[in-house]
Amino acid sequence: MKIMPKPACPETLCPETIWPITIWPETICVVGLGYIGLPTSALLARNGYRVMGADLTRDVVDSINLGRLHFEEPGLDVILRDAVDSGNLDAATTPRPVDIFIIAVPTPISKDRQPDLRAVYKAAEAIFAIAAPDALIILESTSPVGTTEQLAQHLGNIRPDLIQDGQPLIDFAYAPERVIPGKIVMEITTNDRVVGGITPQATARAAKFYRSWTNGNVYESDARTAEMVKLTENSSRDVGIAFANELSIICDKIGVDVWELIRLANHHPRVNILNPGPGVGGHCIAVDPWFIVAAAPDEANLIRQARLVNDAKPAHVIRETLIAAAAIQHARVACLGLAFKANVDDLRESPAIDIALALHSAQQVGQLILCDPLVRHMPADFADAVGVIWEADPVRAVEQADVVILLVDHDRFRVIQQDALQGKIIIDTRGFWRKQCAPAPILR
Ligand SMILES: NC(=O)c1ccc[n+]([C@@H]2O[C@H](COP(=O)([O-])OP(=O)(O)OC[C@H]3O[C@@H](n4cnc5c(N)ncnc54)[C@H](O)[C@@H]3O)[C@@H](O)[C@H]2O)c1
């Protein structure tokens, strides 16, 4: 628990709560209340800001106003409930005029892998309609280089009264979010940040704002560099994972255990190979490198190739599984984990879903058993699927299977005992059992 260092007004806002809260004079509006916007809103409220959240989705707004989370994130439920109960946080479907606006809406890619900024522009236009001169708009959505500058230029189309001598009267800054789902509550306040405005004044204002409620270092730059920093971070991860994934496919071909290989290679003092997996999912690492490729298609060769390698990994897992299943009549195949990464319920761009869908339509699979203890229901992709069982209990999922594919290394799969794997074909795409157990069961 943190006492704010430089309160403008040291008065206690919520004596009935346990928070040592300082009231900050600036009011905040966070537009987009998903995995990023909601924790940001709740933690700002907890740190003494008066926050309103705006989200287009009515159900999201209603559940937040009841103090209820609409997705899984450890530790956030209590903070949200307290934030709403304290009166520091409320939500609505449209933004209200405030001092500082934060945009945290999705930035996906289109089918032809171009950045889709429609949500950012829609959010910005809703803000422009109500913003006063001297407002600060911070874009947190992962965005192509130049987006923050383009938003500032777009202001003149909507509010010419907010342009003076060709310059916006509003400050614009970019501040990418670096949190990892599953640890958002901790990382949102402790991670270092990069902040870049379209002017030095905007940079300084945004940096001061983040320093007021976060503990990590806040590094000041310009908007274009800050945008590229975020894309570079995720591309770096993607390239590293692609190397590991390519190694895993090579190792399957030449009969080398990739986990042993990586473990030994990483003993080199300057080598740090990442872990392979079933592919790369989520809305960040699988998406953001394409923003760089779209901006520099002739130059971004390695970055594009890494994306293609990672996108091709699910097909390899499917092939391996079908070879294993073909050896068994009416093979029962259990997929353990459907989320795009460990210990989250997020199914967006999940390679595990693609793998399970392909297995469902393959004739070598007699029955498909889907199990993800963090996902509440059978995903909509399988709503009408025949021959697919949803099994919430990992132990029972394994019991029923001839072939077990570990697709996500959720901690909750630790309940599965080694004995339960005996006699089954195991395809461990995450090295989950390989890393935990010695000797390992039958593993790939
Ligand atoms: N989730 C992560 O781990 C993570 C990490 C770093 C960066 N980011 C980036 O942060 C941004 C937001 O991601 P997210 O995971 O929070 O998305 P999300 O899909 O979880 O939430 C976005 C929310 O925005 C709402 N929304 C969409 N358009 C809107 C509009 N015009 N006005 C108001 N609300 C609108 C949606 O209803 C949704 O509730 C993306 O650019 C993403 O790449 C995400």
Q: Which of 195, 222, 249 is the endpoint of a domain?
A: 222
- Substitution site in 141, 283, 344, 345 for ligand 1 pocket (most atoms within 8 Å of beta carbon): 283
Residue 357 lies in a domain: yes
Residue 148 lies in a domain: yes
CATH classification at residue 278: 3.40.50.720
pLDDT tens digits for 70-94?
A: 988 999 999 999 999 999 999 999 9
- Token pair in block for residue 444: 């790939």
Q: Which of 197, 222, 247 is the endpoint of a domain?
A: 222
Least reliable range by pLDDT among 21-30, 61-70, 217-226 = 21-30
pLDDT tens digits for 418-428?
A: 899 999 999 99
- Cα 378 from Cα 380, distance rounded (Å): 6
pLDDT tens digits for 358-367?
A: 999 998 999 9
Minimum CA distance residue for ligand 1 atom 32? 123
- Cα 212 from Cα 303, distance rounded (Å): 36
Least reliable range by pLDDT among 6-10, 24-28, 253-257, 288-292 = 6-10
Contacts of range 156-160, beta carbons closer than 8 Å, 24 or more positions apart: 158/125, 158/128, 158/129, 159/128, 159/129, 159/131
Residue 245 lies in a domain: no
Whole-number pLDDT of residue 282: 87
Q: Residues 31, 131: one domain?
A: yes
Whole-number pLDDT of residue 13: 40
Model confidence at 20, pLDDT cuts 50, 70, 90, reads low
230 catalytic residue (yes or no) = yes
pLDDT tens digits for 269-308?
A: 999 999 999 999 988 999 999 999 999 999 999 999 999 9
- Cα 352 from Cα 282, distance rounded (Å): 11
Which value, to the nearest 10 degrees, does the dihedral of the CA atoms of residues 139, 142, 146, 150 take?
-50
Q: Residues 82, 30: one domain?
A: yes
pLDDT tens digits for 109-132?
A: 999 999 999 999 999 999 999 999
Helix (H) or strand (E) segment spanning residue 327:
none
Return the percentage of the chain with pLDDT > 90, whole number.
85
What string of DSSP letters covers 36-77? THHHHHHHHHHTT-EEEEE-S-HHHHHHHHTT--SS--TTHH
Strand ranges inside 175-212, DSSP E: 193-197
Residue 275 lies in a domain: yes
Q: Residues 340, 432: one domain?
A: yes
- Cα 369 from Cα 336, distance rounded (Å): 8
Residue 426 lies in a domain: yes
Whole-number pLDDT of residue 24: 84
Whole-number pLDDT of residue 21: 61
Q: Residues 218, 274: one domain?
A: no
The residue among 410, 331, 326, 341 whose CA lies nearest residue 371 is 410
Minimum CA distance residue for ligand 1 atom 35? 32
284 catalytic residue (yes or no) = yes
- Cα 163 from Cα 201, distance rounded (Å): 16
Q: Return the DSSP state at 139.
A: E
Residue 19 has pLDDT above 80, yes or no: no
Least reliable range by pLDDT among 59-63, 290-294, 296-300, 437-441 = 437-441
Minimum CA distance residue for ligand 1 atom 1? 35
Ligand 1 pocket, Cβ-based, cut-off 6 angstroms: 31-37, 54-57, 60, 104-107, 119, 122-123, 140-142, 177, 179, 181, 283-284
SS3 222: strand
Residue 4 lies in a domain: no
pLDDT tens digits for 336-355?
A: 999 999 998 889 889 999 99
Minimum CA distance residue for ligand 1 atom 25? 32
Q: Is-contact 30 51, C-beta < 8 A?
A: yes
Q: How many distinct structural domains can be found in the chain?
A: 2
Q: Residues 308, 410: one domain?
A: yes
Residue 438 has pLDDT above 60, yes or no: no
Q: Is-contact 271 214, C-beta < 8 A?
A: no
- Cα 424 from Cα 333, distance rounded (Å): 10
Which distant-in-sequence residues (6+ apart) come within 8 Å of 140 by Cβ? 36, 37, 40, 102, 103, 104, 175, 176, 177
Q: Residues 393, 340: one domain?
A: yes
What is the CA(1)–ligand 1 centre distance, in A? 27
What is the CA(223)–ligand 1 centre distance, in A? 20
Minimum CA distance residue for ligand 1 atom 20? 34
Give bridge partners of residue 23 from the DSSP assignment. 9
Residue 149 lies in a domain: yes
What string of DSSP letters covers 333-392? EEEE--SSSTT----TT-HHHHHHHHHHT-TTEEEEEEE-TTS-S--GGGTT-TTEEE-S
- HSE-up of residue 63 (Cα within 13 Å, Cβ side): 13
The residue among 417, 440, 438, 410 whose CA lies nearest residue 427 is 440
Whole-number pLDDT of residue 436: 55
Q: Residues 191, 82: one domain?
A: yes
Q: Is-contact 111 288, C-beta < 8 A?
A: no
Q: Residues 284, 409: one domain?
A: yes
What is the CA(31)–ligand 1 centre distance, in A? 9
Domain containing 278: what range?
A: 257-436
Considering the candidates 284, 313, 341, 371, report the single residue annotated as catalytic: 284
pLDDT tens digits for 400-409?
A: 999 999 999 9
Residue 284 alpha carbon, nearest atom of ligand 1? 43
Whole-number pLDDT of residue 338: 97
Model confidence at 10, pLDDT cuts 50, 70, 90, reads very low
Residue 180 alpha carbon, nearest atom of ligand 1? 3
Q: Which of 222, 244, 275 is the endpoint of a domain?
A: 222
- Substitution site in 55, 105, 290 for ligand 1 pocket (most atoms within 8 Å of beta carbon): 105
In angstroms, how far is CA 312 from the centroid of its own chain? 21
Q: Residues 325, 398: one domain?
A: yes
- Cα 172 from Cα 229, distance rounded (Å): 17
Q: Which residue would you say has higher pLDDT here, 148 or 435?
A: 148
Considering the candidates 230, 251, 313, 335, report the single residue annotated as catalytic: 230
Whole-number pLDDT of residue 385: 85
Residue 181 alpha carbon, nearest atom of ligand 1? 3
Q: Is-contact 141 166, C-beta < 8 A?
A: no
The type of residue at 131 is A
Q: Residues 177, 276: one domain?
A: no
Model confidence at 384, pLDDT cuts 50, 70, 90, reads confident
- Cα 252 from Cα 239, distance rounded (Å): 20
Q: Residues 170, 271: one domain?
A: no
What is the CA(69)–ligand 1 centre distance, in A? 15
Q: Which residue would you say has higher pLDDT here, 24 or 322?
A: 322
State mean pLDDT over 146-158.
98
Residue 237 lies in a domain: no
What string of DSSP letters covers 84-98? HHHTSEEEESS----
Q: Residues 201, 334: one domain?
A: no
